[in-house]
Chain A
Amino acid sequence: MSKEIIKAEHVSKIYGLGSKHPYQALNDITLTINEGEFVCIMGPSGAGKSTLLNVLTTIDFPTKGKVFIDGEEVRTLSSHQVGLLRYERLGFIFQNFNLLDALTVKENIAVPLSLASVNRQEIDERIISIASKLNIEKLLEKYPYECSGGQRQRIAIARALINHPKIIVADEPTGNLDSANSHEVLDFFSKLNIEEGVTVLMVTHDPLIASYSSKLLYIKDGMIEHTIHKEALEQKDYFNRIVDINSNEAQSYFMKEAQ
């Protein structure tokens, strides 16, 4: 049986607590993510997808409830320990790439290692290894603004993977990419997940992108409404189930409107 890597117990997140209009983004969520799973979070806009992702991965903290990463309760860790946890076990990828235009591609990828004072030889070796996996060796001496959107996202992925994290955290990683680049990125995530056992936790709006996952959490109004497991399903059948859930949600909206 796979080891639990992320666990949430009765997690709630309320923004603006104490203000006139507090907003409950997450409502009593309990879930477990096992090592090696590829989990996708879907849901309508404002459902709390990114908030859930943030709360599960130390970017944000829950108002109520507990989050465990690798058995450690995040709230009990010091700022230094949270930093160490991020450095050693998490790799973040966001829609906007978040690269520094003042640094070359190589320097951007090296940032986590440079900050951790890793020696130059090891940095070079790791960069060459990850760059060849992502097919960006020729870009290393360029600057991010000289690269296309797809290339920039691959650079951001390289930076996220440079520490060999156990979990990849991706919030709409294909949001700024065209279809070909999106599938390239997702193929890479799948490969990492299957071949290297890296856990992937991803937020997306797109059912086709979500069909690369092994488990889908459909979230609505801060609560998990549906959980679908891919298991033995083909990607196409899994995709159809994801589309069904999305369309059922849309249908229920129109039914409510008709009433």
Chain B
Amino acid sequence: MGLVRFAYKMLLRKRKESLAYGLMLFFLVITTVILSDVVNNPSIRHGEAYMGDFLITFIIFIVICFSSVMLYFANDAFLQLKSEELLIMGMSGQSFLAITSYLWLQIMMLLIAFLPLGLCTGYFMAVGINKVMFILMHIHASPFFQPLHCFLYTGLFFLVLIPVILLIDAGFVYRHNIADLLHEDHIRNDSNVVMLHLPSSAYIIIALLAIVMFLTVPVDIDRYAMPCMVGAIGSAGMLVKTIPHFLKKQTSLRLIDDKIALISMSFLSEVLKKAKHIITIYCIATIMMIHMIMTLKDDPVESLVAAHAYIITSLLLSVSMMYLYRSMILKRKMAIINLYKVGYMLDQFKKIIKQEVMSFFGLLIALPGLYIIIMLLLLLMNHTISLSFVMIVMVINILPPVIMALMTWRYYRQSIIVELEEGVKDE
């Protein structure tokens, strides 16, 4: 009983940290409800000649896979934030089972809070989406009807996913004893697992190769699948390997006397390296899903499903990226306080934060965006797509990271600058 009370109390007291994880669960429930509705709603399935049954199921499967990976990242960040609590529990004589149960209890509490909320929101969002689809597909049916399967599949999905998450958490507790938790900087296993074990300069070649491929293959959206894939790998590699490597060289050679850039670029390099998995997924997801939307643009149902899939994926990616960044900011507080003690001033920190956040999200938009722009321009010049279509695609590509950047910047300033303004306690 003591454990349940403690889990509840800590979840409530540290609600800001838990909220992002809860939101991820919430979005995942909504995603599953909406996509299950698209697959199972008889009005949509038998509405008109429905050629892309397999393709739509495939798109939905991919989106659910993406969502599960995002939940994994959110869970990982959640675990990093829990290290102090787990350490104190270990010091207080709690066994492996008790510490694992503590994490399980907190996840189950979050699920109890966000599952019904997600189901309700998902239902109403699905109603809205049904309305749009029925109008586009000329279906005369009630958009409020959703088959029971829709909720059953959502339940089944979580029945499979949650035990996997719980097992991952148990593994985390098993692998980290008190000594590891005391040195929390070492918790994150920074193995150099990127997609491919290549030298950092190789990604420049891959990135350039993708541009050459775009310019040499005949203008045809179907033929752009391979250059898109190569571009996604190239841009991800550039972001997580080439640029951090370049920044490391620059900070030690040229930026050593630039107080602002030295710190902001070092922080940027750290974020790029630590968020490598999510950045890789972001690059692949944005480039490949925009390619998919354009491939399916002539079919209203399939393109609508693909567009929903893209919006959901980018929303989940944005939340995950922001959550990961937040957990890094929290861990960076001490380093910033130390810099403050050695003479950095508040105005300089404001500039550092601005420079770092702008550079990070700028790169995140620019690198994958380069291939999207090339592809769109080539298709536009060939009159395959209209200028308005290009504008819509660009807006939906840029908007989520821009919002994410503003939110991260605000949080960064609030958690660092406000604390410094209130005065640093001398320890």
- Tell me whether A100 is interfacial, beta carbon within 8 Å: yes
Decide if the interface of chain B is mainly helix, strand, loop or mixed.
Answer: helix
Indicate whether A60 sits within 8 Å of B427 (C-beta atoms), given known contacts A83-B94, A98-B88. Answer: no
A88 cross-chain contacts in B, Cβ below 8 A: 93
Contact A60 B179 (CB under 8 A): yes
Residues of chain A from 59 to 99 with CB closer than 8 A to chain B in the complex: 59-60, 79-80, 82-88, 90, 92, 94, 96, 98
Chain B residue at minimum C-beta to C-beta distance from A55 = B179
- Report how far A18 CA is from B339 CA in the complex, Å: 39
A54 to chain B, nearest CB (A): 5
- Report how far A13 CA is from B177 CA in the complex, Å: 15
Contact A80 B6 (CB under 8 A): no
B84 cross-chain contacts in A, Cβ below 8 A: 98, 100
Contact with A along B289-310 (1 / 0, CB 8 A): 0000000000000000000000
A118 cross-chain contacts in B, Cβ below 8 A: 2
Q: Total A-B residue pairs with C-beta atoms closer than 8 Å?
A: 88
| Candidates B1, B90, B91; contact of A117 at CB < 8 Å | B1
- Tell me whether B201 is interfacial, beta carbon within 8 Å: no
Of the candidate stretches B21-29, B95-103, B316-324, the one touching chain A is B95-103
B425 cross-chain contacts in A, Cβ below 8 A: 145, 148-149
A90 cross-chain contacts in B, Cβ below 8 A: 93
Contact A83 B98 (CB under 8 A): yes
- Tell me whether A1 is interfacial, beta carbon within 8 Å: no
Contact A86 B5 (CB under 8 A): no
Contact A86 B97 (CB under 8 A): no
Contact B179 A86 (CB under 8 A): no
Contact A83 B95 (CB under 8 A): yes
- Report how far A118 CA is from B93 CA in the complex, Å: 14
A104 to chain B, nearest CB (A): 10
- Tell me whether A258 is interfacial, beta carbon within 8 Å: no
Chain B CB within 10 A, most for which of A59, A145, A159: A59
- Tell me whether A232 is interfacial, beta carbon within 8 Å: no
Chain B residue at minimum C-beta to C-beta distance from A82 = B95
B427 cross-chain contacts in A, Cβ below 8 A: 149, 152, 176
- Tell me whether B178 is interfacial, beta carbon within 8 Å: yes
A197 cross-chain contacts in B, Cβ below 8 A: none
- Report how far A94 CA is from B91 CA in the complex, Å: 11
Contact with B along A33-73 (1 / 0, CB 8 A): 00000000000000000000010000110000000000000
Of the candidate stretches A107-115, A129-137, A202-210, the one touching chain B is A107-115
- Report how far A115 CA is from B265 CA in the complex, Å: 44
A48 to chain B, nearest CB (A): 13
| Candidates B5, B91, B98; contact of A114 at CB < 8 Å | B5
Contact A115 B94 (CB under 8 A): yes
Chain B CB within 10 A, most for which of A100, A115, A152: A115
- Tell me whether B3 is interfacial, beta carbon within 8 Å: yes
B426 cross-chain contacts in A, Cβ below 8 A: 148-149
A79 cross-chain contacts in B, Cβ below 8 A: 95-97
Contact B93 A98 (CB under 8 A): no
B389 to chain A, nearest CB (A): 49
- Report how far A175 CA is from B264 CA in the complex, Å: 30
Decide if the interface of chain A is mainly helix, strand, loop or mixed.
Answer: helix
Contact B2 A114 (CB under 8 A): yes
B10 cross-chain contacts in A, Cβ below 8 A: 100, 102-103
Interface size class of A (residues with CB under 8 A): 35 or more
Contact A100 B85 (CB under 8 A): yes
| Candidates A60, A98, A117, A145; contact of B2 at CB < 8 Å | A117
Contact A115 B3 (CB under 8 A): yes
- Tell me whether A180 is interfacial, beta carbon within 8 Å: no
Chain B residue at minimum C-beta to C-beta distance from A169 = B91
- Tell me whether A255 is interfacial, beta carbon within 8 Å: no
B236 to chain A, nearest CB (A): 28
B2 cross-chain contacts in A, Cβ below 8 A: 114-118
Contact A87 B97 (CB under 8 A): no
Contact with A along B65-104 (1 / 0, CB 8 A): 0000000000000000000110111111111111000000
Chain A residue at minimum C-beta to C-beta distance from B334 = A96
B87 cross-chain contacts in A, Cβ below 8 A: 98
B321 to chain A, nearest CB (A): 25
Indicate whether A80 sits within 8 Å of B88 (C-beta atoms), given known contacts A60-B177, A60-B179, A176-B427. Answer: no
B426 to chain A, nearest CB (A): 7
Contact A102 B14 (CB under 8 A): yes
B85 cross-chain contacts in A, Cβ below 8 A: 100
B interface residue numbers (CB < 8 A to A): 1-3, 5-6, 9-10, 13-14, 84-85, 87-98, 177-179, 182, 425-427
22 A-B pairs (CB sep. < 8 Å): A54-B178, A59-B179, A59-B182, A60-B178, A79-B96, A83-B93, A84-B95, A86-B92, A86-B93, A87-B92, A98-B87, A100-B88, A103-B9, A103-B10, A112-B92, A115-B93, A116-B92, A145-B425, A148-B425, A148-B426, A149-B425, A160-B91
Further contacts, 9 of them, CB under 8 A, given A148-B426, A149-B426? A59-B177, A60-B179, A80-B95, A83-B98, A88-B93, A103-B9, A103-B10, A111-B6, A149-B425
